[in-house]
Amino acid sequence: MIRDRGKMKWTSMMLPEHVKLLRDWAKEDEYEKAREIDEQYLEVMNETISEAMEFGKDLMITHYHNRKYELVIGNIHYWDDLNGKLHVVDQFGEVHRISLSSISDVRLMDE
């Protein structure tokens, strides 16, 4: 039986800079690419956000943050039109400032 130590046998012959670059390269494989959204779906999302703001309903917002998609569930507290951001308060009371351009999906929570 061959007892191969995998990457361990090569790290002693590599410089620390090379090891760091290889780790960064492996981490980049986990990154997700931002999706483009068509204008019809933007209109649907706009109507959903308007309805949630008017009636105080909770939303599920999927947005692109730090090279991956994150899900925020909460109520819209404030819409900053000057900076183009939504201030969403989640169920734990934490405020999320979400850029409108980074939002990829908005849905109303079913009660």
pLDDT tens-digit series, residues 57-104: 999 999 999 889 999 999 999 999 899 999 999 999 999 999 999 999
With a cut of 80, say whether residue 109 has pLDDT above it. yes
In a domain, 16, yes or no: no
pLDDT tens-digit series, residues 28-69: 888 888 888 899 999 999 999 999 999 999 999 999 998 899
Q: What is the pLDDT of residue 7?
A: 61
Domain of 59, CATH number, reads 2.30.30.520
79 closest CA partner among 97, 61, 104: 97
Record the tokens describing residue 82, joined without a space.
Answer: 């000057």
Alpha carbon of 84 to those of 5, 10, 87: distances in Å? 52, 49, 10
In a domain, 12, yes or no: no
Domain count, the chain: 1
Residue 58, C-beta contacts closer than 8 angstroms, at least 6 positions apart: 52, 73, 74, 75, 108, 109, 111
Q: In angstroms, rounded to a whole number, what is the distance separating the alpha carbons of residues 62 and 75?
A: 14
In a domain, 56, yes or no: yes
pTM over the 0.85 mark: no
